[in-house]
Amino acid sequence: MKHAITLMASSDITPGKFSEFKLLLEELVKHCEDTEPGTLAYNYYLNLEETELLSVETFENSDAVIFHALNYSSFAEKISELVTMRKITVCGNCTQQLLDVLAEYDLDVLHFADGFARVAK
């Protein structure tokens, strides 16, 4: 997993839009699972009030993240009506090309130092 890239994106859900967002999220997750072999993990977490969202997404490498960004684009406009993204944290040794693709967002970039990953059984 030394070349894997993890994105953590924090967002606020637009008041009164949670139900609509939840339906779109289910569609998005299924779409990504079916069409993105380089996406290793794609998980969303909500606070107890269902007003804040954290996505934690792990990809094989920078190219897989770029593919996801292009693949996600058909959902982007509708999602932007339902959530406001605050920040994306990029974890891993990503390429400059990936940083260029994500340049429109408020980014924190953390380079891989050391560690390992186990796959849950």
pLDDT per residue over 46-103, tens digit each? 999 999 999 999 999 999 999 999 999 889 999 999 999 999 999 999 999 999 999 9
Q: What is the pLDDT of residue 119?
A: 76
Amino acid at 91: C
Q: What is the pLDDT of residue 89?
A: 98
d(CA 96, CA 105): 15
Evaluate if residue 7 carries a pLDDT over 90: yes
Q: What is the mean pLDDT of residues 104-113?
A: 95
d(CA 116, CA 114): 7
Q: Residue 115 — left, alpha, or beta (φ > 0 → left; ψ -120 to 50 → alpha)?
A: left
Instruction: Report the SS3 class of residue 118.
Output: coil
Q: Please say whether the beta carbons of 96 and 9 come within 8 A.
A: no
- Predicted confidence band at 116 (pLDDT cuts at 50, 70, 90)? confident
Domain boundaries, the chain: 5-110
Helix (H) or strand (E) holding 41: strand 39-46
Q: What is the pLDDT of residue 120?
A: 76
Evaluate if residue 20 carries a pLDDT over 90: yes
Evaluate if residue 107 carries a pLDDT over 90: yes
Q: What is the pLDDT of residue 40?
A: 96
> What CATH number belongs to 5-110?
3.30.70.100
Percent of the chain with pLDDT over 90: 89
Evaluate if residue 1 carries a pLDDT over 70: no
